[in-house]
Amino acid sequence: MSAKKIFESKWFIGSVFAAGAIIILSAVFQWGEFAGYRRAGMAERWGNSYYRTFGRHDIPGGSGRFLMDDFPNTNGALGKVLKLNGTSSFMIEGLDNTERMVVAGEDTVVRRFRNTVSMDDVQPDDFVVVIGEPEANGAIRAKLIRIVPEPPEFFWQSTTTKNL
């Protein structure tokens, strides 16, 4: 058989497509594994600090145990600003009553609705939505901070961050 006939054969074309599909599926699986590892690692670091201080005594077996639903949102948070820590960080209380530290950098964009504002416009009792990346200490390094109106009271009572 000539090389041209081999490359044009249905068997060869099918094999190339199958190999391509396997490579793509492997890459997607690897990406999912990486994302899950990163989320679990952040949850562990955050939990080591948070649960060491406050504990979880409502779980059989003692404090510091994580259930599957206890994984925090690693790349963002939403809630009310509790206090400012200087000009580049603040603490928020999330919808699930957990406190999260948010750290802003020079590349952080702060917006009130569609208008770009500065970090000085973030004040205690503001309701914010934060998108960023987790730091090793469990804080969120913010890429975007959006100041929005506080949602109605029923939203706070019936929703947690894991449902958003």
What are the tens digits of pLDDT across the range 117-126?
999 999 999 9
Is residue 135 scored above 70 in pLDDT? yes
pTM, rounded to two decimals: 0.55
In whole angstroms, give the CA distance from residue 5 to residue 105. Answer: 60
Percent of the chain with pLDDT over 70: 74
Mean pLDDT of 111-132: 92
Closest by CA to 73, choosing from 164, 155, 156, is: 164
- For 29-78, the pLDDT digits (tens) are 998 888 888 777 777 776 666 555 554 444 444 444 444 455 556 778 88
76, β-bridge pairs: 131
101 C-beta neighbours (distance < 10 Å), count: 18
| pLDDT reported for residue 61 | 45
Q: What is the 3-state secondary structure (H, E, C) of the chain?
A: CCHHHHHHCHHHHHHHHHHHHHHHHHHHHHHHHHHHHHHHHHHHHHHHHHHHHHCCCCCCCCCCCCCHHHCCCCCEEEEEEEEECCCCEEEEEECCCCEEEEEEEEEEEEEECCEEECHHHCCCCCEEEEEEEECCCCCEEEEEEEEECCCCHHHHHHCCHHHC
- Residue 96: both structure tokens together: 């699930």
| pLDDT reported for residue 35 | 80
Is residue 27 scored above 70 in pLDDT? yes
Q: 161, 95 in Cβ contact below 8 A?
A: yes
| pLDDT reported for residue 69 | 52
| pLDDT reported for residue 5 | 79
Question: What is the CATH code of the structural domain delimited by 74-163?
Answer: 2.40.50.140
Q: 106, 119 in Cβ contact below 8 A?
A: no
| pLDDT reported for residue 41 | 76
In whole angstroms, give the CA distance from residue 136 to residue 147. Answer: 25
